[in-house]
Amino acid sequence: MELAQTEAGVLLLGLLFLFLGFGVWIGLALALVGLVGVAVLPLLIPSMPTLPPEKVMGTAIWQSLASWTLAALPLFIWMGEILFRTKLSENMFRGLAPWVQSLPGRLMHVNVIGCGIFAAVSGSSAATAATIGKMALPALTQRGYHVPMAVGSLAGAGTLGLLIPPSIVMIVYGVAAEVSIVRLFIAGVLPGVMLMLLFSGYIAIWSMLNPTLVPPRDPPMPFSMKLRESGQLIPVVMLIGFVMGSIYLGWATATEAAVFGVIGALVLSAWGGSLTWSSFRDSLMGAVRLACMINLILAGAAFLTQAMAYSGIPSAMAAWVGSQGFSPFMIIACLTVIYLILGCFIDGISMIVLTVSVVLPIIQSTGFDLVWFGIFIVLVVEMAQITPPVGFNLFVLQGLTGKGIFEVAKNTMPFFFLMALGVAIVTVFPAIVTWLPQTMLER
């Protein structure tokens, strides 16, 4: 790597952390660093072209945001916001509880299954943990379940909101890396199921090793009553199945399916009696605020990416990594550590848009599939959601329980290692990620 490019890379990275340290919004910080890159880097790298910053910015922002695929983002967010304001969490606990009574760990599994279902609605990790936690934690505590395990399982399973489609993070990665959103959605299904099985398996083993910490099961319930208890939950599951099934079967694009999801969520909300003008307005404004925040980050990242591309820093870094003779597994291990460190300070979406321009050339040079790498990033970002000091799921559970963040992190540690095991499994067996999209889209 040329000395000038090294100095330029360090300068840009240092400026970014300086801006973030002063509390500048992430999107604006990225754009400011990009502006410095376009205006100042040509002075450090003579081979870099000198271009008008306003034209580079305008082109980069337009190309990043003028995307039909990106239109799915606010729609899926709105669908989650609508259902978030219904009685979904209450219905979910009441509907799932009768079906898990015979499993070791009993109602603890509601945390995992409930988070998996709500993840397919919200696409957000923090929203998943908060929604299920508000209903599940008081119910589990009241029934005498082990609180540390309940807290840990909620924080861990809440991260499924990033992996199980429709995932906001997947859409952001797909747009930033120019990868098919549909392929990413399909690729996330089996890893999501795998993580749910790992979580539930650990809960079952833990409960068998600690039988005194698990309350006795509730009285048996007839099958007809189980169905009646699940009656309010079935329409939501059917909506999720229709939305995702329309994508997987090729009936609709991700954006069209998001429209169906919003309409279905409004219908279910009206049917359940929770759709009022106030809830409609709040859900719409919540979706607008979150979508605008993400779009601002994407716009700033696109400008910074363009500045980096003109400087040649990403390609030079890829060439340098290639010349070191690192094995593919060593590269993945290093990236895992880097993302976990970044996750201690910034959120998952910012992590992805900040690093994609530098990391993708390295990944492509080592022959990794970009769809597989997208799922890998999501898994590692999930791990970062439960690492202090800026693990967003830890903040959510801290607010729900009143416990210290490091105590919550301690309770969540077993699920962190289970996610690390999941990362190792999909790295050694990449077909877990790639098989389903290849089978469904190439037949």
Contact 376, 351 (CB under 8 A): no
Helix (H) or strand (E) holding 77: helix 72-84
pLDDT of residue 390: 61
Q: Could you count the other beta carbons within 10 Å of the beta carbon of residue 3?
A: 8
| CA dist., res. 429 & res. 234, Å (int) | 34
Structural tokens at position 42: 């040509």
pLDDT of residue 404: 79
Q: Which residues contact 53 (CB under 8 A, 6 or more apart)?
A: 35, 38, 39
Local structure of residue 220 (DSSP, 8 states): P
pLDDT of residue 205: 93
Cis geometry, peptide bond prior to residue 166 (ω within 30 degrees of 0): yes
Report in angstroms the alpha-carbon separations of 281 from 206, 236, 263, 294: 44, 21, 15, 20
| CA dist., res. 1 & res. 3, Å (int) | 6
Contact 82, 243 (CB under 8 A): no
Could you list the pLDDT tens digit for every one of the 443 residues in the chain? 444 555 666 677 778 778 877 777 777 888 888 888 777 766 666 666 666 777 777 777 777 677 666 777 788 888 878 877 777 666 777 778 788 888 888 888 888 888 888 777 766 677 777 777 777 788 888 888 888 898 888 888 888 877 888 777 888 888 878 888 889 988 998 999 999 999 999 999 999 998 888 888 777 777 777 777 777 677 888 888 888 888 777 788 878 888 888 898 888 888 877 788 888 898 889 888 878 877 887 788 778 777 776 666 666 665 666 666 677 788 888 888 888 877 766 667 777 877 777 788 778 777 788 999 999 988 988 888 787 766 777 777 787 787 877 888 888 899 999 999 999 999 999 999 999 888 876 65
pTM of the model: 0.78
Nearest to 159 by CA among 109, 195, 198, 189: 195
* End-to-end C-alpha distance for the chain, whole angstroms: 44
pLDDT of residue 227: 76
| CA dist., res. 25 & res. 228, Å (int) | 48
In order, the DSSP letters of 340-405 are HHHHTTS-HHHHHHHHHHHHHHHHHHTT--HHHHHHHHHHHHHHHTTSSSS-HHHHHHHHHH---H
pLDDT of residue 3: 43
Output the CA torsion sign for 110, 116, 118, 124.
Answer: positive
Structural tokens at position 15: 């400026």
Query: How far is Cα of residue 235 from the mean position of the Cα atoms in its chain?
Result: 25
Structural tokens at position 237: 């599951």
pLDDT of residue 2: 47
| CA dist., res. 121 & res. 77, Å (int) | 9
Tell me the chain's radius of gyration from C-alpha atoms. 22
The runs of H, that is alpha helices, within 210-253 are 223-229, 234-248
Residue with the two structure tokens 């309350």:
215
Report in angstroms the alpha-carbon separations of 370 from 170, 184, 187, 289, 308: 12, 9, 11, 30, 20
| CA dist., res. 70 & res. 175, Å (int) | 7
